[in-house]
Structure 1
Amino acid sequence: MRYVIVGAGAIGGAVAALLHEAGVEVLLVARGATLEAVRREGVRLTVADAPERSVPVPVVAHLDEVVWDEARDALVLAVKSQQTEALLPALAGVPAGVPVFCLQNGVENERRLLRLRADVHAVVVMMPASSLEPGRVLLHSGGRPGLLDTGRYPTGTDAADEAWARDLGAAGFDVVARPDVMAWKRRKLLLNLGNGVDAAFADSPDADALDDLVRAEGEAVLDAAGLPVVSAAQDRERRGTLLRPLVRRDEAGSSTWQSLALGAGDVETDHLNGEVLLLGRLHGVATPANRLVADAVHRLVRDQGAPRSLDAAAALATLGAARA
């Protein structure tokens, strides 16, 4: 297959570079300073503690520049979830038979795309990576670069999933094609609820406690909604020793932390903590911790505040007062 990857940040840039190095045909779609950097120097990739290397990945500025081959192409969305909506008009020019892989956090992208396309695939992104400079990507795992399990949305697997597993495996990733991929993606959503805590609040035991609260609320709303989710034990077993402890922690914050650090002006919080708020409102489950974290992140975005500048102890006190 050829993979047309939209988004050349930490995830999309690294996947494109490693596929290219493995001899798998790939085309990046990038914009702005990242487009210019990749055109000039390729994707500057650092894997764990290895020296940085430049990978000359082919890149274009727009999807309408792609000459599609419906028999072998796949489209990969590697933009953050809040950026999916803006891409939808451009998908009109992508042939209907081209499968779309959502290499994204959250659980709404696939549902949104299924309104427009029949062949949609979810990917569970377990991949510690960062990109704080255009065209420069760091992978922080000392083991496999990432685990990228996939399956059709809403259920099942097909030949495209098997091709994804084969090609990404050749590039060093660990991939399982899963008919119940969304149950795994919901577990990843629960882990991602802590992204807002990591982005907004200084490291402390109180921040850890707030992290526990948002995840407990997430478990409660998924249960109330009757949505399947794999257990934390299954998730730990899947990761095993494949993803080793992060290196260069100063550049390894969550994707939400990276957005704040870059002053991106938007974050994926509404697709993470916001998903819990939505389900809570639909099913009558209180979610005050997720509301607090979402509000804190949006306030930092609006005020151009520094990441990890808030006090989690004060946030917990606010929650306690609200419950009293």
Structure 2
Amino acid sequence: MRILIVGAGATGGAFGTLLQEAGRDVTYLVRRPRAEALRRDGLRFISPSGDRTHSVQVRTADEPADAYDLILVTVKASALPSAIEDMRPAIGSSSTIVPVLNGMAHIDRLQEAFPGRVAGGMAKIVATLDAGAVRQLTQMSTITIGGLGERELSPAVAEALRVQGIDLSVSADVEGALWEKWMFIAAGAVATCLFRSPIGATIEAGGLPQILGAISELEAVAAAAGHPVSAAGHEQSIGLLTEPGSAFTTSLYRDLLAGLPTEAEHILGDLARRARELEIPTPLLDLTLIQVRADAIQRGHTAD
């Protein structure tokens, strides 16, 4: 199975290295500067199991390409529109596209662009880019996949992704799993971005009722959409987002604090839109969006 990984950032580089080390045929679709660096220096991967550099196969959007069997989309939401256009020559009649972004808006965009080719995917890994190298910070490295709607997932896709270093799960309800992760990420973003603080500081300042309120209102949206959060998922949110003294933050909060463009519209804006359609009130989510959007306006950032 020929695998194309769209993006060679922290997530794509980590999973791509693990797949390549298991003997899979892996190619990265990247922008020209990243392609030149990878061709020259290879891809360095630093993980709890070691530090290594591999020569890798790369291509850019302007280079000819045959269709790939499995396309793993690992870019940030802001890069998705351009990634969709860059991917088009690589999509064939038997290709399967597995995005591992957070939220659900990307599923709609990909299905519109490539009907019948999109499967559900979700990843959990703590990794970052460090001077061009991919650094995996913890042992956690999971991918959950599954078919969407009436389309069943080919067993060959699961076989291709089942390698050492990746804890792979095939879910009968991957859409429900995506919604559950989305509600946790969104609740964490509201709790940290609205108060511009880690969880522990917000709780110390008296914000515990608001954190609980955010969890409640967002889970109400998921339930109304037909994807109620499980008891285990709810308890995970409560446990991680209400711990006194916790230094927990979210990537959206960290990007906001650093003055970087964020995935706020993809994670929070799309959720607020769905809440309005379902007539579910989300006052804390709405306040967070106003603050994040106002910050983006002042910094001259465009919506993702």
Closer, same or farther: CA 122–128 of 1 in aligned 2, 3 Å: same
Q: Is 1:65 paired with 2:60?
A: no
Q: Hey, what's the Cα distance between the residues in 2 that align with 1:51 and 1:195?
A: 32
TM-score, length of structure 1 as denominator length: 0.75
1:62-106 deviations in Å (ceiling 9; x for gaps): 2x4252246xx2112111123222333334423233111112111
Task: Go from structure 1 to structure 2 and tell me whether the alpha carbon gap of 1:169 and 1:60 turns closer, same or farther (over 3 Å shift).
Answer: same
Aligned Cα RMSD in Å?
3.1
Structure 2 CA distance for partners of 1:278 and 1:90, relative to 1, 3 Å: same
Query: Do residues 113 (structure 1) and 106 (structure 2) align?
Result: no
Aligned to 1:316: none
In 2, distance between residues paired with 1:222 and 1:66? 42
Task: Report SS of the residue matched to 2:168.
Answer: coil
CA contact (8 A) 1:110 1:153 kept: no
Contact 2:198 2:249 in 1 (8 A): no
CA change 1:170–1:60 in 2 (3 A) is: same
Aligned-partner residue type, residue 124 of structure 2 = M
Structure richer in strand, relative to its length: 2
Question: Contact between 1:42 and 1:57, CA under 8 Å: does it hold in 2?
Answer: yes
Task: Give 2:285's aligned residue.
Answer: 290
Q: Which has the higher contact order (CA 8 A, sep 6+)?
A: 1
Distance in 2 of aligned mates of 1:262 and 1:5: 28
Q: Cα deviation per residue 1:241-277 (whole Å; 9 max; x = unaligned)? A: xxxxxxxxx9x9644356447755x321112112321
In structure 2, do the counterparts of structure 1 residues 156 and 172 end up closer, same or farther at CA, with 3 Å as the change threshold?
Answer: farther
Q: 1:184 aligns with which of 177, 186, 204?
A: 177
Overall identity of the aligned pairs, in %: 26
Cα deviation digits, residues 205-228 of structure 1 (max 9, x gap) = 354635443332210112223x22
- Alignment map for 1:65-214 (pairs within 5 Å): 65-69=63-67, 73-93=69-89, 94-117=91-114, 118-131=116-129, 133=130, 135-142=132-139, 145-155=140-150, 157-159=152-154, 162-193=155-186, 194-195=188-189, 197-198=191-192, 201-205=196-200, 207=202, 209=208, 210-214=210-214
**Residues 81 and 109, structure 1, Cα contact 8 Å, conserved in 2:** yes
Match of 2:47 in 1: 47
Q: How does 1:10-29 map to 2 (within 5 A)?
A: 10-29=10-29
- State the TM-score, normalizing by the size of structure 2: 0.80
1: CA distance between counterparts of 2:267 and 2:277?
A: 16
Residues 147, 80 of structure 1: alpha-carbon distance in 2 compared, 3 angstrom cutoff: same
Structure 2 residue aligned with 1:319: none
Which whole-Å deviations, capped at 9, do the CAs of 1:24-81 have from their partners, x for residues lacking one?
1111112255334323322222213x5532232222222x4252246xx211211112
Q: Give the count of matched residue pairs.
A: 282
TM-fit CA distance, 1:120: 0.6
Equivalents in 1 of 2:258, 2:2: separation in Å?
31
Are residues 186 and 104 of structure 1, via their aligned partners in 2, closer, same or farther at CA, if it must alter by over 3 Å?
A: same
Q: How much does 1:164 deviate?
A: 3.2
| Alpha-carbon contact 1:149-1:175 (below 8 Å) kept | yes
Gap regions ≥5 residues in structure 2: 237-246
Gaps of 5+ in 1: 238-249, 306-324
In structure 1, how many angstroms separate the alpha carbons of the residues matched to 2:235 and 2:121?
A: 17
Cα separation, 1, equivalents of 2:234 and 2:40 = 40
Please name the residue that 1:240 is paired with. none
Letter in 2 for 1:274: G
Matched ranges for 1:189-268 at <5 A? 189-193=182-186, 194-195=188-189, 197-198=191-192, 201-205=196-200, 207=202, 209=208, 210-225=210-225, 227-233=226-232, 254-257=250-253, 259-260=255-256, 264=260, 266-268=261-263
